[in-house]
Amino acid sequence: MKFEDRSEAGRRLADKLLHLKDRQPVVLALPRGGVAVGFEIARTLDAPLDIVLVRKIGVPWQPELALGAVTDGAGHQIFIDRDLAASLGVPDSYIEEETARQLEEIERRRRSYCEGRPAVDVTGCTAVVVDDGIATGATMRVALRAVRRRGPARLVLAVPVAPPDTLAALSEEADEAVCLETPIGLGAIGFYYRDFHQMSDAEVTDLLARASCFTESGAASRTL
């Protein structure tokens, strides 16, 4: 099954998350692609939309293969697949250098996406962590652990597509996992979308700005 684009995937995923609408949801999306999915979920749930900045640490000669991931914030989270690193002979020096480089990119993106806009507080809320798909799960694992440390009452993983074994492993990091498609032998995530263009920073910034009304509405509902 193919999704027309990330927006359609988000709308379909939102239908599976309607039970969370009265549980103080906050949608946290992984840029870039996850923001388009998260925007539709936040709109349906009348929830604030924010981002979780995570960067993949790729294998040196195959950058698309995730060796691990890193996220920002106080006491940033790092996940490295040490077994994979050992089997491929990836040196520790590369991992350290690439981690530092990706943290710099995270800071660049935070300035670009979030300048002048404080992070949404998820303490005591239902945090819904969203991406446009999962392959190895390294990036999402770090994101879930980072969000868990922020004190949500409930942590939900929501994605349109993921391999069943990876989804099962990540489900241990969340209180609930919602996924529309779980194909065996996933391949590339883009295969499941007719439109899977590389989103720009400008598109992400625009979606976050358009979602500001969700943030205000969600905040108001929590005070009622």
Cα of 145 vs its chain's centroid, Å: 11
- Candidates 139, 53, 55; CA nearest to 102 is 55
- Quote the pLDDT of residue 224: 40
Q: What CATH number has the domain spanning 6-53+118-223?
A: 3.40.50.2020
pLDDT in tens, 108-141: 888 888 877 788 999 999 999 999 999 888 889 9
pLDDT at residue 210 tops 90: yes
Question: Which contacts of 61-70 are long-range, i.e. CB under 8 A and separated by 24 or more positions?
Answer: 65/136, 66/135, 66/136, 66/138, 66/139, 67/95, 67/138, 68/95, 68/138, 68/142, 69/138, 69/139, 69/141, 69/142, 69/143, 70/99, 70/102, 70/103, 70/106, 70/142
Q: Which residue has the higher pLDDT, 73 or 197?
A: 197
pLDDT at residue 162 tops 80: yes
CA distance 118 to 157: 23
Here the tokens at position 141 are 């694992």
Name the pTM for this structure.
0.85
